[in-house]
Amino acid sequence: MPLDAVRPSPLVEQAAERLRAQITGGHWPVGTKLPGETTLAAELGVGRSTVREALRVLAGAGLVRARQGAGVFVIAVEPVEDWPTRLRRAAVTDVYEVRILVEVQAARLAAERRTEQDVVALEAALAGRRAAAAADDAAFVDADIALHAAVVAAARNPVLTDLFGEFAPALREGLTEMLDLSGVREKDPNTGDGTHAALVRAVAEGDAEAASTVLREELEATLALLRRT
C-alpha cells in the first residue's frame, strides 16, 4: 500500500497519523521492521527530521520501538492510552468507585497528619463551597472539588495528591452533568453542606475514624445518585 504525501502543516502530526494508519490497518504487523527514515521521508514527502519526530510520537503511543543498530519495529497495533485519557473515556461511576477507595483513606491520613495551615485551608475551602451555593452548577462543583482536594492535600502524601488531581477533570464533568440532570440544587443550592462541614470538623479534630466514615457515606450517596441519573 503506497503512502500518500502529506500536506505542509502540521507535518509531524500528519506524518505520525499516516504511519499510525499503516500500523493499525495491518500493513505493518507486530514484529515488522519499518522502512528506513530516508524511505519514509520520500514516501511521505517530508524531511527525515519530521519522520524522526513522527516515530517518536508513535513510540510514545506504544506502537513502535527503536532497537539500537537494528531499526524501528512495530510492537503493537493499538495505541496505549495514557491515564488522563483513560479517565476521560471511563464512566463516571467507575471513576467514582476508585475515588472512594482513594479518598476515604486520604481523609483518614489527613486527620492524623493535618497541620494548623491545613485546617485553615480546609475551613477556607468549606467557606468557598458555601459561597458557591449562589453560583451555577459548574462553579459549585469546582468549589466542592477544591474542598476535597484540600482534604487530600492534608494527608501529606504526594502520590495521593497527584492521583486526585488526575481524577478531577473526569469528576468535574460527571458531577456537573449529574447536578444538571437531577436538579438536586433546585431545592438545596448548598447540597451536602452538613456532611462536608462534619468532614472538615473531623479532620480538624484529628478524628480519623469519623473523617473516613463521613466521607465514605457522602461519596457513596453521590455514587448512588450518579447511577440513577
End-to-end Cα spacing for the chain: 48
Across 86-110, b (16+ Cβ under 10 Å) vs e yields: ebeeeebeebbeebbebbbbbbbbb
Rounded CA-CA distance 133/33 in Å is 59
Rounded CA-CA distance 25/161 in Å is 40
pTM: 0.67
Per-residue pLDDT of the chain (229 residues; tens, 9 = 90+): 556 554 444 888 899 999 999 999 989 999 999 999 999 999 999 999 999 999 998 988 889 999 988 999 999 988 766 676 677 677 888 889 999 999 999 999 999 999 999 999 999 999 999 999 999 999 999 999 999 999 999 999 999 999 999 888 888 988 999 999 899 999 999 999 999 999 999 999 999 999 999 999 999 999 998 888 7
What pLDDT score was predicted for residue 1?
53
